[in-house]
């Protein structure tokens, strides 16, 4: 009887651990170098000026390559800068790069 309770307890702990792991499948990579994820606007606007330009966008971030190439399209008010709303609008309509 003691052994069957132990086995049931182990089974419950294992099931809880498995559900906790599966509840977070899209967690950020541990090293923080996911070149395929689009960074948040605030990560690009490091000095808090409220806009970004091409020079604020890292060349090695796959998700920003299309934006870098078509920055004039993202700059809908044609002021030479991409503000947060323009960035979010452009990134929401841009297809996510596939591996």
User: Is residue 14 situated within a structural domain?
Assistant: no
pTM above 0.75, yes or no: no
Supply the range of the domain harboring residue 40. 34-99
pLDDT grade, residue 74 (50/70/90)? very high
E strands in the chain: 51-52, 82-83
Q: Within a domain: residue 28?
A: no
- Return the higher-pLDDT residue of 17 and 77: 77
pLDDT per residue as tens digits for the range 14-71: 665 555 544 444 434 444 455 567 999 999 999 999 999 999 999 999 999 999 999 9
- Higher pLDDT: 97 or 8? It is 8
Count how many domains the chain has.
Answer: 1
Using one digit for the tens of pLDDT, what is the confidence trace for 1-28?
556 776 656 655 566 555 554 444 443 4
- Does the residue 88 lie in any domain? yes
- Cα–Cα–Cα angle for 63, 59, 46, nearest 5°? 85
Residue 94 maps to which CATH number?
1.10.238.10
* 64 lies in some domain: yes
* Within a domain: 80: yes
What is the spatial distance between Cα 12 and Cα 96, in angstroms, rounded to a whole number?
Answer: 38
On whether residue 69 sits in a domain, the answer given is yes
In a domain, 23, yes or no: no
């Amino acid at each position: 009887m003691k052994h069957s309770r132990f086995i049931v307890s182990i089974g419950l702990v294992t099931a809880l651990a498995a559900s906790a792991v599966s509840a977070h499948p899209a967690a950020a990579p541990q090293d923080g170098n996911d070149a395929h994820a689009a960074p948040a606007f605030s990560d690009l606007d490091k000095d808090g000026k409220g806009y970004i330009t091409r020079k604020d966008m890292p060349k090695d971030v796959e998700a920003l390559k299309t934006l870098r190439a078509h920055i004039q399209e993202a700059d809908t008010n044609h002021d030479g800068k991409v503000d947060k709303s323009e960035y979010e609008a452009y990134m929401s309509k841009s297809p996510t790069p596939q591996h």
